[in-house]
Structure 1
Amino acid sequence: MLDATVRLQDVDGEDLDIRSDGATLRGRLFRPKGAPRAALVVHGATGVPAGFYRAFAEWAAAERDLAVLTYDYRDFGASARRPVRKSKATMADWGRYDQAAALSTLARMFPDTPRWVLGHSLGGLWLGWHDAMTRVERVVTIGTGMVHVTDHPLRYRWKARLVWSPMVRGTAGLLGYLPGRMMGLGADLPRGVYEEWRRWCLTRGLHLSEVGRSLPLPDPSRVKARLRMIAVADDDMVPPAAVWRARALYPEAMKEQLVLRPADFGLKHIGHIAAFHRRNAVLWPAILD
């Protein structure tokens, strides 16, 4: 199995602030010791703090000579500036504004370096809304799909139905946020993020169902990069069929598809989130190479 331990003396890290449409995001840049061959921004999954991607970012910097920017969306993780119940953030804010701001920040820091994007789940759904995408050369998405609640296998569907249930929605309304920690979902989420996430997962077309109403029209021509779309065979949250459905978001990209099967890497399970866990570092070359 690949050793996820990198020589930390070969990686420089610095914290930075990212300005995003009235919000301040907290990011961390990992630099290789030499000149980077590319600069990569990691757009994280819903409810997954940037710190979760640290081991992967250190590996990419040390072993692949990449400058890697990780960050937290507004009012979440290290970017939280107020109690979560006071947040007005929405999932569209995270996708349209925060992802664009992080990519633009990376572009300013590395204006003459090839730019790459890695989108995990939510992180790969909004690329057509980002002006800065027009100069991105390479994109990797993993677990990014146009998922509907009926896409989940039965063993998971009841959990999703519970999260979207009137009872949980009422609890979020009463508290002013989704108590994700209490529910075993990993992290508390702003109510606006939860409400959009719920509504879109219960609607065919996900967020595209609101284009022309609450969302502007995206521009698919912004994404002409080489695009590797990765599905995970045992991902109950966003199964492969939902991942391939997302191909329609980026008609002008040069697309390739990859399925990560646990047995191919000597693993018992991967799922939706754990591809970036240190214990699953054996997957990382397949993600980036």
Structure 2
Amino acid sequence: MQETRAKTGATAREEAVFIEAPGGAPSEPSRPGGATLAGRLFLPAGAPVAAVVLHGAAGVPRDYYAAFAEWLARERGAAALIYAYRGCEARQSRSALRRSQVGMVDWALHDQGAALAFMAARFPGAELRVIGHSMGGFGTMLHGRADAVARLTAVCSGPALWTRARGAARAQAFGFWHGLGQAALMFHGYIPGKLFGLGADLPPNVYRDWRRWCTGPDLHKGDWGGALPMPADPPFSGRLTLVSAADDDTIPTAVVEDMARFYPGASGVETRVMDPAALGLESVGHIGGFSRRAAAAWPMIAD
């Protein structure tokens, strides 16, 4: 069951939506399983031309994407959903984080899948699109409605083996996966976000799944048929747009382009590079493409 509360603005409407995501680890210890995802749905003044679900990056708060989603509704006539992954709806106590069984498997499979199903059901006549930021681009090939997605745009997303990072980002990734990250998990029992420049703390299993996927060359392929199902059949067959940032040293352009091999059924693949200099921006980087200051880059993501 989906619950909504409406708020009307000048040129777009916003609804608070609550999406049931069955399966996977419970979002709180008192719950037997599954989660209720807290979302914000932005609606255009008229009938939406597209239904867009935005899967966020790990450790990035939901509301970071609100300005971009509102712009999609106001300027592109799309219904746009942003939501918080299970366990990220509100600031959790340290003891709750330590006890949490939530993993990145739950986010990529159950939460992303539920958000996609919600938009497909809510807007059956609109073109269904997915925008995935970083790990937000990891899951579409696994979802039961993958074949209904007309377009997937993966932004700064790819098989992020740490050795493929550049410069200082490579050293930081090595430390996160093989040094300080593991030490922080052992000492705290979870990953303190501020310690690593993240916008939120991470439950232990999120880090463990993420580490497994970023210390091998094939992302989460080793989990297919185990912790994750095999890719959906029928598969994703829509358009695949791969968007990188020229100054993203964490997931360089070549790594973003490598994401195409995880979507072999795509009807077409297009690559785009957000170049800060060409866009009149000081930087974009791995996270900055959805920020208000990077609004000049938004058409490269949306159009």
Q: What TM bracket, shorter-length normalisation? A: over 0.9
Q: Which residue of 2 aligns with 1:4?
A: none
Q: Which residue of 2 aligns with 1:68?
A: 80
Query: 1:244/1:266 Cα in 2 relative to 1: closer, same or farther (>3 Å)?
Result: same
Counterpart of 1:53 (choices 50, 61, 65) is: 65
In structure 1, distance between residues paired with 2:55 and 2:196: 24
What secondary structure is seen at the aligned counterpart in 1 of 2:150?
Answer: strand
Residue 236 of structure 1 aligns to which amino acid in structure 2? D
1:91 aligns with 2:104: yes
Q: Which residue of 2 aligns with 1:187?
A: 200
Counterpart of 1:42 (choices 14, 39, 54) is: 54
The Cα of 1:264 is off from its aligned counterpart by 1.1
In structure 1, distance between residues paired with 2:298 and 2:239: 18
The Cα of 1:77 is off from its aligned counterpart by 3.7
Q: Which residue of 2 aligns with 1:122?
A: 135
Residue 274 of structure 2 aligns to which amino acid in structure 1? L
In structure 1, distance between residues paired with 2:217 and 2:299: 34
In structure 2, distance between residues paired with 1:231 and 1:221: 28
In structure 1, distance between residues paired with 2:176 and 2:107: 20
Residue 71 of structure 1 aligns to which amino acid in structure 2? Y
1:113 aligns with 2:114: no
Q: Which residue of 2 aligns with 1:263?
A: 277
RMSD: 1.9
In structure 2, distance between residues paired with 1:48 and 1:272: 11
In the alignment, structure 1 segments of 5+ residues that lack a partner are 1-6
User: 1:224-239 to 2 correspondence within 5 Å?
Assistant: 224-239=237-252
1:25 aligns with 2:26: no
The worse-fitting range, judged by mean Cα deviation, of 10-19 and 207-216 is: 207-216
Q: Which residue of 2 aligns with 1:11?
A: 12
In structure 2, distance between residues paired with 1:174 and 1:30: 41
1:104 aligns with 2:117: yes
What secondary structure is seen at the aligned counterpart in 1 of 2:286?
Answer: coil
The Cα of 1:184 is off from its aligned counterpart by 2.8
1:288 aligns with 2:302: yes
What secondary structure is seen at the aligned counterpart in 1 of 2:64?
Answer: helix
Identity among equivalent positions (%) equals 42
The Cα of 1:98 is off from its aligned counterpart by 0.4
1:241 aligns with 2:241: no
Q: Does the CA-based 8 Å contact 1:220-1:249 persist in structure 2?
A: no
In structure 1, distance between residues paired with 2:208 and 2:197: 18
Query: 1:165/1:243 Cα in 2 relative to 1: closer, same or farther (>3 Å)?
Result: same
What secondary structure is seen at the aligned counterpart in 2 of 1:164?
Answer: helix
In structure 2, distance between residues paired with 1:131 and 1:213: 17
Residue 67 of structure 2 aligns to which amino acid in structure 1? A
In structure 1, distance between residues paired with 2:300 and 2:293: 15
Aligned length: 283
Q: Does the CA-based 8 Å contact 1:39-1:110 persist in structure 2?
A: yes
Q: For each residue in 1:112-153, what CA deviation from the matched residue of structure 2 results, as whole angstroms up to 9, or x when unmatched?
A: 222111111111111111111211212211111011111011
Residue 236 of structure 2 aligns to which amino acid in structure 1? V
Q: For each residue in 1:143-174, what CA deviation from the matched residue of structure 2 results, as whole angstroms up to 9, or x when unmatched?
A: 11011111011221111112113443132134
In structure 2, distance between residues paired with 1:138 and 1:171: 38
What secondary structure is seen at the aligned counterpart in 2 of 1:272?
Answer: coil
Higher relative CO (CA 8 A, sep ≥ 6), structure 1 or 2? 1
User: 1:125-274 to 2 correspondence within 5 Å?
Assistant: 125-219=138-232, 221-253=234-266, 254-274=268-288
Q: For each residue in 1:166-194, what CA deviation from the matched residue of structure 2 results, as whole angstroms up to 9, or x when unmatched?
A: 44313213422101123433221011000
The Cα of 1:68 is off from its aligned counterpart by 0.5
In structure 1, distance between residues paired with 2:46 and 2:98: 43
